[in-house]
Structure formats: structure tokens, C-alpha cells
Amino acid sequence: MDNQIEYSIISGEPEVILEPLLRSLAQYASNSVKVAIRTTSSTPKAKFNQILEKEYWEKMFVLYKTTDLNEVLKLESLLIDNNLVVERNGRKWSLENKATYILYLLTI
């Protein structure tokens, strides 16, 4: 499992890191048959285990990490504007103290 999760975290304000993030996403996508970009407040390992119960994916790349919910939502909106995320899945975020939010890429 541990070799299926790779950490390649870009940090900073969403508007500042958008271009480097888009380059990283393009690189990963070019070597993959299928990709999905998602966000979560779960740990990467817990989330990947949960996903694998329902879907087949070979690898998870953790690309962005923040403790600010607004930042991950802003980044998700910027990716929607760039046609990389088609829709939000209607989830409800918990506003827990000290929560960490991540944006990740799944590949096959």
C-alpha cells in the first residue's frame, strides 16, 4: 500500500501554485490511462483504502496540503475553471480544528 501513495506536495497560495500544479498534473496524466483529481480531509492512506473498496486505481499522488479549507476549495475551483475537475461531488466538509485538507490525483 505505501508504495501506491506518492507525496509530491506543492505548497503556497492557490493562485501562485496553479501553474506548477497544472504542469505536474499534465506530467502524471500523460503516463496514465485514467486519472481523477479529488480533495479530502482524510489521511491519504485512509482515503486510498476507502477508494479501493469501490474503485480500481493503481496510485495516489498527494499534490497539495493545507490546514485552510478555503485554500483547497479555491484550488479546486481554479481546477474546475481549467476544466480539470468536472464537478464537485456534493460532499460536506467538516470544519474541525486542526483538520488537514489535501488535493490528490488517482491514476491507472
- Which position has the grid cell 460532499? 91
pLDDT in tens, 12-69: 899 899 999 888 888 888 888 888 888 888 999 999 999 999 999 999 999 999 998 8
In which region does residue 12 sit, left (phi positive, over 0), alpha (psi from -120 to 50) or beta (all else)?
A: left
Instruction: Give pTM, 2 decimals.
Output: 0.81
Please state, in angstroms and rounded to a whole number, the distance separating the CA atoms of residues 106 and 96: 25
Q: What are the structural domain ranges in the chain?
A: 2-90+101-107
Please state, in angstroms and rounded to a whole number, the distance separating the CA atoms of residues 108 and 96: 32
